[in-house]
């Protein structure tokens, strides 16, 4: 009889006997254990079909890539902080990085537009 609590009672004849005792919902001195809620996206807990398992794998891949992206962004911030500590202007560096991503004809077009706008407002 596992899980059944017993207590000792004295019978009318004076003999002692074991009788089932009602269980307390939470025995004194011990807190009732609460189960943690299940994560519905854990592959081991979800009993879905192939599509559900594939979806979970894709989501987990995106989460890993987001973590990597955050790590890379932190590394970039560290490089700019190092450049600033050695006296370089980080705003100019960021502009150069942006310009280097562009193709030459797009850079030339952006430069011509900048010059045109500067002339039109009297900065050049």
Question: Other CB atoms closer than 10 Å to residue 41's CB: what's the count?
Answer: 13
- Whether 61 and 69 have beta carbons less than 8 Å apart is answered as no
**For residues 105 and 118, what is the distance between their CA atoms, to the nearest angstrom?**
20
Percent of the chain with pLDDT over 90: 58
Report pLDDT digits (tens) over 51-61: 999 999 999 99
Continuous segment of H or E residues that includes residue 19: strand 16-21
Alpha carbons 5 and 21: distance in angstroms, whole number: 5
Instruction: Tell me: pLDDT of 24 over 80.
Output: no
**Segment 84-109, tens digit of pLDDT:** 999 999 999 999 999 999 999 999 99
């Amino acid at each position: 009889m596992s899980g059944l609590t017993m207590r000792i009672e004295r019978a009318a004849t004076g003999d002692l006997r074991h009788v089932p005792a009602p269980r307390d919902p939470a025995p004194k001195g011990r807190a009732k254990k609460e189960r943690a809620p299940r994560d519905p996206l854990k592959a081991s807990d979800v009993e879905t079909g192939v599509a559900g398992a594939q979806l979970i794998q894709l989501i987990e891949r995106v989460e890993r890539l987001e973590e990597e992206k955050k790590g890379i962004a932190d590394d970039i911030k560290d490089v700019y902080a190092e450049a600033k500590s050695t006296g370089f202007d980080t705003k100019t560096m960021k502009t150069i990085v942006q310009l280097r991503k562009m193709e030459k004809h797009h850079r030339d077009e952006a430069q011509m537009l900048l010059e045109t706008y500067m002339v039109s407002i009297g900065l050049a």
